[in-house]
Structure 1
Amino acid sequence: MRRKQVGIVAALIAAGAVALTACGQPAAQPGTATPAPEQSRVQETERAPAGESEVDFLRGSANSNNADKNAGDRAPANAAPEVKVKWVELRVANAGGLEPAVVNGKGLSVYWFSDDPVNGGVSNCNGDCEKTWPPIKVAKGTKLFFPGIKRDNIGFIKRKDGSTQVTLGGRPIYLFSKDEKAGDIKGQNVGNKWFVINPEGKRAVAPAEAPVTKPVEPAPGVQPATSVTFFSGKNFDDFNGNNFSTGVRVEAACGDLRGGFQSLSPGGAVKIWSEPGCKGKSAVVSDDVRDTAELGFPNGARSYIRP
């Protein structure tokens, strides 16, 4: 099994791109999850040990990890560059009717540029171009949240100015300066070269066009999850309306959730149930689930246990 902890190292500077992944011990709240109707403040995820990665990969969302709301993706426009790269979030969402699509921690749509070679290690959007299409960047110490996206799909390249840009599926990713709010896709198909990206690094499409994908039983050898982040909204939504998230420790004893949770981000295999007390319909999953309805859980997951 290949190693899951990779950092931005000297080879990135020499070769142009290195895919980063991380594996560490998640910190989660112990015991049964009975969250109040507000998001839980739990540092829930996996982090690369110091010295092995310049970027911290954290499973779960910015909210569930209590990220600074005045920094990172939500920093004011006039904030210093170092404030803006304190954290970056890439999450699955519905962007202007395209689903699944990727948005940042402010809900703004994320794009790819067809002039950038896939896995080419370079961006061809520099100078005036990057003023219109700001590249999504990280730096040493950046916290990267990625609910709904496989870590293996996330990588990095060095830009001409020496900064580090995030890639998805080998494609450098950007925002569009004219998008003003969550759900805007004003950059879609601009010049027939710019497209909203999906979690695999391909073009996001309307749900009717998208292939049906359902989580499958974990492959043999997948370790049980020690922790899971549950989201009350589908697509890992914990910032729209009354949606919230909670991080829980997964144990041999059944854990109940207060209400039905529509999506989840596990750190391994977990068994979920449609009713409290680990009763009703069940499924074992190890990948992120963006909509439990795809598993036959229209009312969400209500309890969980270590499989």
Structure 2
Amino acid sequence: MTSFFSGQLSHGTATRRASAATVLAVCGLVSLTACGKVIQIGDSSPSSTSAPAPANSSAAPTTAAPAQGGAGNSALQVLDSTAKDAGLNGTGGTVVGTAVQETPPKWVQLSAVTSPDLAAPHLININQAALYRFDGDSAGSGESNCNDACATKWPPVIIKDGGNVYLAGVNPKDVEAIHRADGKVQVTVGGWPVYRFSGDSGAGDLNGQGVDGKWFAVGPTGQKAVR
């Protein structure tokens, strides 16, 4: 298998840097050719569907994933390629730290890395902010149990309807989405809703790890990333 992503996490100062581990992505069992899928999110399970890849991406979608609850209908594309591969710059509209995510991003990227503070592979977003899962949720339940004040402290990883989820070191089959109580679309990994922590202000921060014994960095298949 061929690695396609590596990088560095800066920990907010010039003296604290964490090297991102080389990560691998597998498209099925045959090759590493770019692939992906279309997620249909609604009240009823959709029939299998496919859609053209974005004009600026070489990733080709495959069969849709089962729906995960929620009200109304939405669709996302999960692409086994990075935003950079698709010719995109910037953040897609994601914010960092205590900033409020006023508008869902047009796209998000999930990348698997390791760092000196956490050797187990864990996910970061395009801003290199650590991503988390909540033990108060249940994998595959189709809902988040972190709302209102909780969601202010632990902002959900949301995305605009019809947006793209780009991946580095994450298998597209493990990425889906749910409708939150407020109707926004939240990304899930391994069935677990994914969040960031408002207390992480810099790239590489892991201040949310182990908080209340229920919050942990999320691994590339949705598992807890622990030492």
Task: Tell me the TM-score normalized by structure 1.
Answer: 0.51
TM-aligned CA deviation for residue 132 of structure 1: 0.5
TM-aligned CA deviation for residue 25 of structure 1: 6.0
Q: Is 1:145–2:166 an aligned residue pair?
A: yes
Question: Which letter maps to 2:107?
Answer: W
Equivalent of residue 45 in structure 1, options 46, 59, 80: 59
Equivalent residue, structure 2, for 1:167: 188
Query: 5 Å matches for 1:296-307?
Result: none
Structure-2 change in CA distance of 1:11 and 1:68 (3 Å): farther
Structure 2 alignment gaps of length 5 or more: 1-27, 29-35, 64-72
Structure-2 change in CA distance of 1:91 and 1:99 (3 Å): same
TM-aligned CA deviation for residue 54 of structure 1: 2.2
Q: Is 1:54–2:54 an aligned residue pair?
A: no
Q: Is 1:197–2:218 an aligned residue pair?
A: yes
Equivalent residue, structure 2, for 1:225: none
CA RMSD for the aligned pairs? 3.3
Equivalent residue, structure 2, for 1:188: 209
TM-aligned CA deviation for residue 199 of structure 1: 0.5
Conserved? CA contact 1:85–1:137, under 8 Å? yes
Equivalent of residue 92 in structure 1, options 112, 115, 124: 112
- In structure 1, distance between residues paired with 2:119 and 2:58: 28
* Structure with more relative contact order (C-alpha pairs < 8 Å, separation 6 or more): 2
- In structure 1, distance between residues paired with 2:190 and 2:132: 12
Structure 1 alignment gaps of length 5 or more: 13-17, 28-41, 207-307
- In structure 2, distance between residues paired with 1:21 and 1:187: 38
- In structure 1, distance between residues paired with 2:107 and 2:206: 23
Conserved? CA contact 2:79–2:172, under 8 Å? no
Question: Which letter maps to 1:55?
Answer: L
Whichever of the two has the greater Rg, that structure is 1
Equivalent residue, structure 2, for 1:11: 44
- In structure 1, distance between residues paired with 2:164 and 2:44: 21
Conserved? CA contact 2:77–2:162, under 8 Å? yes
Q: Which has the higher helix share?
A: 1
Structure-2 change in CA distance of 1:94 and 1:127 (3 Å): same
Task: Tell me the TM-score normalized by structure 2.
Answer: 0.68
Q: SS where residue 156 of structure 2 aligns?
A: coil
TM-aligned CA deviation for residue 158 of structure 1: 1.6
Equivalent residue, structure 2, for 1:291: none
Query: 5 Å matches for 1:288-303?
Result: none
TM-aligned CA deviation for residue 80 of structure 1: 4.5
